Amino acid sequence: MDKIISILKPTGMTSNDVVGKARKILKIKKIGHTGTLDPDAAGVLPICIGRATKVSELILNKEKSYLCELTLGASTDTYDSSGEILFKAPDDFEYAEDAIRKAFESQMGDIEQYPPKYSALKVNGKRMCDLVRSGREDEIVLKPRKVTIKNLEILSIDNNKVRFYVECSKGTYIRSICYDVGEILGCGGHMSFLLRTSSGKFNLENSITLDELEKFVEEGTVEEHAFDIDYTLDSYPKIVLRDNAVKYYSNGGIIESYRFDEKNYTDKDEYVRVYSHERFIGVGRLIRENGKISVKSDKIFV
């Protein structure tokens, strides 16, 4: 099977736990997820199966959306409720709605964000969370990363509980938003709930649970709930190769545009979906030289 299945990850499981469980259910070794979702978080986690693992990075690059709860009044070392409390606000601290909204406004748009030390980001080949847990925190030098918060909407404020919805670029840590808002307000804050509602084209509606995956495998209907590799690539323009160019292209050859049967790219496009008739065969990179346009294979799926 060379497909993508979007799993609804439950809380308490790591993303790798989900992959391991899916591997056993499907009895397929080549499976990978498309971006870590914290163990305490739930929600959409697309997994790629077989040759679809070649596009996992492309899915990882897509925008994501979340529902989150921020608890003000205490900051933790992990930036979420699983960590140790580092700071606690006085019991009589006033949580002013205007101040909270203003703090959230500072998190909108293109911002520089420091990731939590308890994260899967690597320093010299080691995950930061592993370095901290092994007493090697001094090896970590946190550097800000540019991320984009496309939409940040407060849904409710109930004393020290703030529920919000966020749409963001890859690499965004929602935990860091919670921590930073708490720092701005001077009371501390941590993430107390997180649900990923979408990852690219995958959302709560087209995702299934691990129990459902097992059921569909037993029924022999699992492929009805799986997606073709090119489902996630519709942002790339499409080209169709002539029959006499397909084999050469699949072997790594560069194909000039006069051997395209169909094309709809623009001058700004760099990558395209490549087809033979209606069969998806890969992702190609456009080459522009001497006034001519050609395509070279970037990822092959035949």
Query: Out of 38, 80, 180, 230, which one is annotated catalytic?
Result: 38
Q: Say whether 110 is catalytic.
A: no
The CA radius of gyration of the chain, in Å to the nearest whole number, is: 23
Catalytic residues, which ones? 38
